[in-house]
Amino acid sequence: MKQFMSVSEYSRHCGISRQNLHKHLRTGLLIKTPDGKIDVKKADEVLKILHGETVDNIPGGNDYLSQKRQAEARYRTAKASLAELDLQVKRGEYKLTKQVQDDLSFLLYAMKQRLMGWSRSLPPQLSFKDERQIMGILEQQTHFILTELSGGIRKIAKYAKGYKATKKRTAKKT
């Protein structure tokens, strides 16, 4: 491999268009030697950073131009990472913290309502029963609630979303 290449040779070498390579040359990320060639080793390091292949091995230097190139490469890497994260949020791969907190609060509200309803529905069923019948009813109701909660999270979520909508409607009326 050559140490120095022309723009067209280097664009073929790294697999990007000459137009894109000229854009990097104009912005100062890549530099030409006085005879118009590109230093392959330095340019490969910069392009690796731009494509997110390496972050730790940013080419060093104490002069202003190399520090500027380092900062721009880090900025582009961070901007690309942020864009990927935004895309993943839009796809639904991630949820925002506020949205998760809201959903959980509505789930907990629905579970609380179900458990409160259980405590209100049991006394009439337990009246005039002996100890064995009371234990059977309690086990049956406990089993019913646990299976409903474990298998019916979607139902609870739908109920919570309905509660969320009614809460918004009542808030708008007042």
Task: Based on the fold, state whether residues 162 and 132 are members of the same structural domain.
Answer: yes
Q: pLDDT higher for 145 or 22?
A: 22
CA torsion 54→60→63→66, rounded to 10°?
Answer: -20
Write the pLDDT tens digit of every residue in 52-80: 665 454 555 667 777 888 888 888 888 88
Find residue 38's DSSP bridge partners.
5, 32
CATH classification of the domain holding 87: 1.10.1660
Task: Based on the fold, state whether residues 123 and 149 are members of the same structural domain.
Answer: yes
Task: Based on the fold, state whether residues 26 and 66 are members of the same structural domain.
Answer: yes
For the segment 133-140, the average pLDDT, to the nearest whole number, is 89
- Sign of the dihedral defined by the CA atoms of residues 169, 170, 173, 174, in that order: negative
- Enter the pTM of the model: 0.35
CB 58 within 8 A of CB 73: yes
